[in-house]
Amino acid sequence: MSTVTSPDQTGPKMTPKSMVGWCAVAVVGAVCWTILALSRGENVSALWILFAALSSYAIAYRFYSRFIAHKVLGVDNTRATPAERLENGVDFDVTDRRVLFGHHFAAIAGAGPLVGPVLAAQMGYLPGTIWIIVGVIFAGAVQDMVVLFFSMRRDGKSVGQMVREEIGTVGGVAALIAVFSIMIIILAVLALVVVNALAASPWGVFSIGLTIPIALFMGFYLRYLRPGRVMEATGIGVALMLAAIIGGGYVDQMGLAQTLTLSKETLVICLIVYGFLASILPVWMLLTPRDYLSTFMKVGVIVLLAIGLIIARPVLQNQAITDFAIKGNGPVFAGKLFPFVFITIACGALSGFHALIASGTTPKMIAKESQVRMIGYGGMLMESFVAISALIAASVINQGLYFTINSPASATGGTPGAAAEFIRTLGFTISPSDLSAAAHSVHEITLISRTGGAPTLAFGISLIFTKAFGGALAAFWYHFAIMFEALFILTAVDAGTRVGRFMLQDTIGNVWPRYANISWKPASWSASAVVVALWGYMLYVGVTDPIGGIYQLFPLFGTSNQLLAAIALALCVTLMFKHGKARYVWVPGIALVWDLIITMTASWEKVFSSDAKIGYFQQRSVFQTALDKHHLIAPAKTMDQMQQVIANSTLNGFLQALFAVLTLIVVASAIPVWVKAAKSGGLPTTEVPRQPSHLVAAAEIFATAQEKQAVREYEAAQRELAASGRPR
């Protein structure tokens, strides 16, 4: 009774019925792709994108991920997973596959897949759609699944640890520095998105601000009033949160509008103080309850958005490919389609950050090896679907309005008149009164230059929901969507600061052991302060940048995330060679090669380009030359701002180069290992030796009849054992 012999294991023959079914899926996919490829300048329905994505995912999951599971990785259900062998009910814990899928998805999907596609929509809907779908199938989902598998075979070791043990110390140290610094950039840019969404938005500040007392209340409820009743507490929390969103509409009547209209600088200080407190307070007080709220909102909105899209069937306003994609002069971010569309959309297509999650908590909870397919590959497909939805939401907005919201203030001038004129120079039309009306429709003071993606997405979601569900609720839906995004960015910032603090304490602990003691207050407080100061400084740099924080920092964010992916994929390739599977090394290999091409081209351009809009150091030298002659260059309005541009572009250029070099060090130190392993047909690895599994569990979301029967028999046997008084 050691395993279920699923048809997957025995090399199945497809039944004629399923062959017909899969042919139908393939036909639907082919039709959708053809229509997307051929339609130009007509009214294209967003559903073509949606169904092109869904049918491609289905085929990739059914065929490619199965090939990876059984041929490339060789999942073995007779082999006990770490959760089974080391079960302790804490971190090693056999978890139902569907529950673990939920946990894993909640951990990987955040604001990334929402923000990137919105910004990439400046190049049209087609490049983003193709990259999100093709990228996830051949790169993103492959990375997540393969890292999850290898980490599971090593009792849940982290990527950093595996790089050190399997590639070498130099690579390991480079990977550690890269992970830490990339995390700081990611936190800063995410926080920047929140700041841009909440600045000059009293409604937003009111409702997001209230989530703090709501979370505190939930924390106390779960600690003192009704310990452990998470569903009750979350139900109350969600009801209060919806009330907070509705209540935000009455800030004027409450006389709070003035007080809550905060500048970006004030918000930065609020976020820094909040981030510090959240990382030193006990988790039960703030972090855990917030996480329940944000997970609920995340799943709720995604489901609602999918339903809304199908009911509303919106028409795309965006072009398939815009001129900016070819000329590289877009106002949202600089650079041509290649490589910049590929780094702007990281999460949703390929996200290195996932490797940290796939090699952390999740591998310690898997019941059966074959489940890496559903959790690793399937979880990432789901995130990709979120990215596609975000791309659609950004593409159904009037394009004049899209560029008004997303162009930096240095371009739009900030007033309706100037913005309308700027939009005209881009080749779109929108009148100043239309701009004011759009802002008024969602109860915002202005929508001009609300960069960062969140306001655009919220506006798009509000359009789709209003069309799908009716009623005059545009403003409610807008703020509902802002809440949804801000809530889980703040959760990511809390959790990220905490993880960063532990990493720092652990690293310093190597030379000063006492510092690693996580309950020693001086250590935990100072480490938290350092982490918050680092991302807080980058956030401040972004907020005050005269050229525009998102315009300047987003490329750095996207590249760094995908450089992390390059490190993870280099590890996967190394392990394929070491396990003697050189034959299949192309599976993570094509993802690695493509990822290196795009990230290195982008890094090269950002560092060395002679176009001052793209190259950080060129920008620096142009501004420096002007400053020496006491000239001002727009958008800088004072000499101080000139100085600021120079300082920022130097810092950004330095970081961009640093990340690329760290990645190259990891890859370069891996290559000799590849050669050696390929020559000798494999090398010893740190894989934990096989031990037989006694557990029975299904492999996929829906268990087969055979699997259900086997699980029933297994459970009955377990009960019998328990009844006879012998613990398992």
Partner 1 sequence: MRAAALKAGRGIRWYLKQATGESKWDEYLQRCNREDVEPVSRRDFERHRAEQKENNPKSRCC
CB burial readout 292-317, b (16+ within 10 A) else e: bbbbbbbeebbebbbebbeebebebb
Alpha carbon distance 412, 428 (integer Å): 13
DSSP β-bridge partners for residue 692: 79
Q: In this complex, which beta carbon is closest to partner 1, that of residue 46 or of residue 189?
A: 189
Judged by beta carbon, residue 79 or residue 104, the one nearer partner 1 is 104
Give the contacts of 299 (CB within 8 A, at least 6 positions apart). Answer: 102, 106
Q: Is 586 exposed, middle or buried (0-12, 13-18, 19+ CB in 10 A)?
A: middle
Least distance to partner 1, CB of residue 42, Å: 35
Q: Rg for the chain (alpha carbons), in Å? A: 26
CB 55, min distance to partner 1, A: 26
Count of CB atoms situated within 10 Å of the CB of 506: 14
CB of 294 to partner 1, least distance (A): 8
Nearer CB in complex with partner 1: 230/647: 230
Core vs surface per residue 391-428: b (16+ CB within 10 A) or e: bbbbbbbbbbbbbbbbbbbbbbbeebeebbebbeebeb
Q: How far is the CB of 186 from partner 1 (least distance, A)?
A: 5
Closest CA relative to residue 576, chosen from 562, 565, 590, 563: 590
Q: String of b and e for 253-265 (b: at least 16 CB within 10 Å)?
A: eeebbeebebebe
Tokens found for residue 178: 């890269």
* Cβ contacts of 54 within 8 Å, gap of 6 or more: 385
CA distances from 338 to 353, 598, 599, 612, 659 (A): 22, 8, 10, 18, 20
Largest CA distance in the chain: 90
Neighbours of 185 (CB within 10 A): 22
For residue 113, cis peptide bond before it (omega within 30 degrees of 0)? no
Task: Kindly state the smallest distance separating residue 416's Cβ from partner 1, in Å.
Answer: 33
- 112 closest CA partner among 453, 431, 432, 399: 453
Residue number, 97 or 264, with CB nearest to partner 1? 97
> Smallest distance from the beta carbon of 499 to partner 1, in angstroms?
5
Point out which residues pair with 79 in neighbouring strands: 692
Region class of 721: left (phi > 0), else alpha (psi between -120 and 50), else beta: alpha
Do residues 124 and 399 make contact, with C-beta atoms less than 8 angstroms apart?
A: no
**Distance between CA atoms of 634 and 630, rounded to whole angstroms?**
13
Q: How far is the CB of 237 from partner 1 (least distance, A)?
A: 12
Residue with tokens 């799943």: 299
CA pair distance 358, 150, nearest whole angstrom: 10
Q: Round to whole Å and give the CA distance between 214 and 453.
A: 26
Residue with smaller CB distance to partner 1, 96 or 713: 96
Binding residues (CB under 8 A) for partner 1: these are 89-91, 95-96, 98-99, 102-103, 107-112, 186, 190, 222-223, 227-231, 234, 282-284, 288, 291-292, 347, 351, 353-354, 356-357, 360-361, 488, 491-492, 495-496, 498-499, 502, 518, 561, 722, 725, 727
Q: Which is nearer to partner 1, 108 or 541 (CB)?
A: 108
Residues in the chain: 728
Nearer to partner 1, 61 or 221 (CB): 221
Q: Which is nearer to partner 1, 189 or 199 (CB)?
A: 189
User: Nearest distance from residue 223's CB to partner 1, in Å?
Assistant: 7
Least Cβ distance, residue 681 to partner 1 (angstroms): 36
Q: How far is the CB of 163 from partner 1 (least distance, A)?
A: 17
* Least CB distance to partner 1 at residue 489 (A): 8
CB of 384 to partner 1, least distance (A): 13
Which residue, 557 or 577, is less far from partner 1 as judged by CB? 557
At closest approach, how far in Å is the CB of 494 from partner 1?
Answer: 8
Sign (positive or negative) of CA dihedral 681, 687, 692, 696: negative
Q: How far is CA 473 from the centre of its chain?
A: 29
- What is each CA distance from 511 to 178, 502, 504, 506, 507, in whole angstroms? 20, 15, 12, 10, 8
At closest approach, how far in Å is the CB of 108 from partner 1? 5
Provide the minimum distance between the beta carbon of 492 and partner 1 in the complex, in angstroms, as a whole number: 4
Read off the tokens for 418: 């100037």
Choice between 90 and 634, CB closer to partner 1:
90
Q: How far apart are CA 585 and CA 573, in angstroms?
A: 6
Considering beta carbons, is residue 29 or 500 the nearer one to partner 1?
A: 500
| Minimal distance, residue 305 CB to partner 1, in Å | 19
- Nearest CB to partner 1, comparing residues 62 and 103: 103
Nearer to partner 1, 93 or 434 (CB): 93
Pick the closer one to partner 1 by CB: 361 or 398: 361
The least CB distance from residue 230 to partner 1, in Å, is 4
Q: By C-beta, is 470 or 727 nearer to partner 1?
A: 727
Q: In terms of CB distance, is 406 or 505 closer to partner 1?
A: 505
To partner 1, the closest distance from the beta carbon of 75 in angstroms equals 24
Structure-block tokens of residue 433: 């009164």
- Give residue 357's identity as a one-letter amino acid code: I
Which residue lies nearer to partner 1 by CB, 232 or 687? Answer: 232
Q: Are 579 and 685 in contact (CB under 8 A)?
A: yes
d(Cα 377, Cα 66) in Å, to the nearest integer?
A: 10
Amino acid at position 380, single letter:
M
Other beta carbons less than 10 A from residue 18's beta carbon: 12
Distance CA 349, CA 117 (A): 10
Distance CA 271, CA 464 (A): 31
Q: Distance between CA 409 and CA 413 in Å, rounded?
A: 5
Question: Which of residues 228 and 470 has its CB atom nearest to partner 1 in the complex?
Answer: 228
